[in-house]
Structure 1
């Protein structure tokens, strides 16, 4: 019988909060060498100022060079195979390669461009609320609302058939589960890329108004098929996985903090500030992408040599007393200025305007439709071993 995997320190939570050991680490040491799910050790950075410093400095903390590590248990891959798997993945590059890819995508994710999507997002949200209401109370909020709404939005934006959602959601869930064997996760990654490559080929033959079609029409000479495949794969994964977990976990956070929920009901104009505070307080992405030092660096009084893995603990950074007073309190009146839930620097989340818009529409619509919304069980079902924290289910009644 195989041993059950140990949850890495940077992924440990106590409900909505980072594990108490992480808070002690932040307050006393700041940086510590820890085990990772990759089978190699890394330096874990926990303070807000240090996390921002790492995320701001792509020269000394490289995303591209982490590919030098071969994960224990991973099959041998040739340089060509590695290059194909990395192509188009913005998270696997540093400037100037990263800058080139991001510049092609940025116009599609401006706030102005996102506003064009707003009527469609409102319609999708209302459709799913109608279906929930028709099916009757109780319902699983995750499967009936939190997951399908962002999935449908990103499918329409990219040009991915919504009928394929069960398959790509299954693959994504396996890919992000660090308790799964590395060979399984790599096999799923290949399967995902094969699916997206076939979709890209169809769009190249007949590009429409979807984002991938726009990239083919306007930048077809600048982007290879492998790059388009990588872009599509990353946006599909990030576009549904993060926002869906924010909607599920965020709803539970509001239900568990009835004073904040009541304030948002009475003053719906607070929704933007509420979304920022939920992003900060929940910090569903544990760490973002690991970095590799390119030179000797000093963080929190620790000297870290070149060629070392560095990871950022986003939940402890966003709960750092140096960022704001009483950071462990959930308070929608403050708007959570300066959080790093979307990262920081050149790799700041490209889809942040879309995620904010989906949450700004979905939370008020849900609370307005079901004024008596409540969690059925006092227990919550958290996804502990996933790269993106969230809930497996959330049964609600109204």
Structure 2
């Protein structure tokens, strides 16, 4: 079976100019002299390091907690040019929607870029597992592998944990939460106005609104917010390989273990306290911390990125901004759905591991192979979204059905909360600041270079 040749993407390149329109592809201008020598030295150094790590892994076995760089074959679904996935992803999807990546260490990874194939895999609870503990040498309690959460958990534990939180995310419960969200948005927009123009929308609004909402829902103290904001971004950064990301995951879970321990003796009024009162010793601190960790993760960075990038997309066309400012609730709902599809900020779904030998779209998948679903690739599939799938179109039909929140058993439990936040914050923002504009050219924004959750680090705006 052919594998993908990613040789055009192989050099480890670094963004050297924030005005480079292809900055988030980590491109580098052609240089001569000393800069060319340094580039060659870096390539040789990384090649040597890659061989060293490969020998160690073959000798001791793969341990994700020790992988300090992301193998080049795994980078393709994380690369973008502005808001668009790189063209190579579309070329791959057109050639074969399920294909094995060229990976080191004899590691079999199949990248899924087709919409129908992605839905099939995400909905199949019998053929795949989400448990990643076999990729760590030490997978016992308290280890790096013991990260828990719904995304890395299989039934029956997954079923039990999800039942504990699902009632908090019903439409009826979230409708009751809307006044609280509106108050949070108003307060954060006041702070943006007080900061003066220009200001960083990400700092004052995008990062703050979802963290305020999720911490209020869970019953977390204000003192914990800053640490969660910092770690919530670091855990998705793939530039340091899986070791750095898993380190942030472990640190965040330790914070939550401390929160759970405090609330076990004095339950708060939020979700953590309610679960402890209802379950008592039937749920361990570790399981509850992992469950809450997944809620914080799914409810914070993804929504924050959607607010920033969604605002940027709307500022490209005054007609689109007018929809959220003056349109009907139905118009806003449709626009939000299209933003979710178009952006697909969660670029890759939780990895699946084949439980048995199987075949998908002519691609043989062996037991224990990794299946990685490119959500951004699937949501741009013309076979589903139409011939102009790469264009943002708030009138697109059908508006729903995208995979921005995943699909099936592991679909994001907080999907409706994220929708409500976007439906509230975007209209409020454009009504409060009708002359809102980017304060820097779009190509000059500090795009995330290599992240499972795509976004920008800052969004300077004028108003």
Q: Give TM-score scaled by structure 1 length.
A: 0.93
Q: 2:147 touches 2:250 (CA, 8 Å); kept in 1? A: no
Secondary structure in 2 aligned to 1:353?
helix
Other-structure match for 1:332: 394
Residue aligning to 2:96? 29
Cα drift, residue 94 of structure 1: 1.8
**What are the Cα deviations for residues 186-229 of structure 1, in whole angstroms up to 9, with x where unaligned?**
33333222211111111111112200001001122431111111
Q: Which whole-Å deviations, capped at 9, do the CAs of 1:280-300 have from their partners, x for residues lacking one?
A: 000000112010001122222
> Please, which of 286, 309, 313 is the counterpart of residue 253 of structure 1?
313
Equivalence for 1:145 = 205
Partner of 2:184: 124
Aligned residue in 2 for 1:69: 135
Match of 2:346 among 282, 285, 288: 285
1:227/1:123 Cα in 2 relative to 1: closer, same or farther (>3 Å)? same
Aligned to 2:150: 90
**Runs of 5+ consecutive residues of structure 1 not aligned to the other structure:** 71-75
What is aligned with 2:424?
361
Aligned to 1:99, which of 154, 159, 174? 159
Structure 2 residue 430 is matched with structure 1 residue 377: no
Give the greater-gyration-radius structure (CA): 2
Q: How many residues align?
A: 391
Partner-residue secondary structure (3-state), 2:461: strand
Out of 120, 124, 143, the residue aligned to residue 53 of structure 1 is 120
In 2, Cα distance between the equivalents of 1:163 and 1:38? 43
Contact conserved, 1:8 with 1:37, CA < 8 A, in 2? no
Does the 8 Å contact 2:307/2:426 carry over to 1? yes
Which structure ranks higher in relative contact order (CA pairs < 8 Å, sequence separation ≥ 6)? 1
- Structure 2, gaps ≥5 residues long: 1-41, 47-68
> Counterpart of 1:393 in 2: which secondary structure?
coil
Going from structure 1 to structure 2, the CA distance change for 1:38 and 1:180 (only over 3 Å counts) comes to: farther
Contact preservation (8 Å) 2:147, 2:253: no
Q: CA deviation at 1:184?
A: 3.5
333-342 or 350-359, which moves further after superposition? 333-342
Query: What are the within-5 Å matches in structure 2 for residues 1-398 of structure 1?
Result: 3=46, 6=72, 8-34=75-101, 40-64=107-131, 66-70=132-136, 76-82=137-143, 85-87=146-148, 89-269=149-329, 270-325=331-386, 326-334=388-396, 336-378=399-441, 379=443, 380-398=445-463
Distance 1:229 1:249 in 2: 30
CA displacement 1:167-186 (0-9 Å, x = unmatched): 22222222221112544433
Q: Give, in angstroms, the shift of residue 265 of structure 1.
A: 3.0
CA distance in 2, matches of 1:176, 1:219: 31
Q: Equivalent residue for 1:73?
A: none
Q: Is the 8 A contact 2:260 2:289 kept in 1?
A: yes
Q: For 1:329 and 1:171, how far apart are their aligned partners in 2?
A: 33
Q: Which moved more, 1:169-178 or 1:346-355?
A: 169-178
C-alpha distance in structure 2 between counterparts of 1:26 and 1:133, whole Å? 44
> Do the aligned residues in 2 keep the contact of 1:157 with 1:210 (CA within 8 Å)?
yes
